Structure 1
Amino acid sequence: MDLDDILGPRPDDPLTALIAQDLDRLSVAELEARVKALEAEIARTRRKIDGAVTHRASADALFRR
């Protein structure tokens, strides 16, 4: 069992704070900048996933899993 299952999500989790942020107070320009930043973070996260999958495949091939 994971600690998150027992304790729940961390209250200081940045993703939780991001999702909870009130967007009503932001201008169109600020919202567009936010979308651009989030798209860049999505791309960075996908690159990390691709790297992890490649690393795992290399390890599996090496050890003939």
Structure 2
Amino acid sequence: MQIEDEPPKPRGRVVGADLSPLSIGDLHAYVADLEAEIVRVRAEIEVKGAARGGAEALFGRKD
């Protein structure tokens, strides 16, 4: 059973792995999984960007 806040478990695919043994259906599923992961990563980037912006507003920007 998966807890709501846990990210979905990978289906055992490795980015860059040989795709030739996969069926068309498996390839479509793989693309959907990758697109969902991209959405998840972009959301995390937004969260971290907002936190960084808040810290820079409070403490000033450090280069």
TM-score, length-normalised on structure 1?
0.68
Aligned match of 1:63: 59
- In the TM superposition, structure 1's runs of 4+ consecutive aligned residues that sit over 4 Å from their partners are none
Deviations 1:1-57 (A, max 9, x none): xxxxxxxxxxxxxxxx421x1111100000000000000000000011111110000
Task: Give the structure with the higher percent helix.
Answer: 1
Structure 2: which 5+ runs fail to align?
A: 1-13
- Say whether 1:43 aligns with 2:26: no
How many equivalent pairs are there?
48
Structure 1: which 5+ runs fail to align?
A: 1-16
When the two chains are superposed, the root-mean-square deviation of aligned CA atoms in Å is: 1.0
- Mapped to 1, the partners of 2:44 and 2:38 lie a distance apart of 10
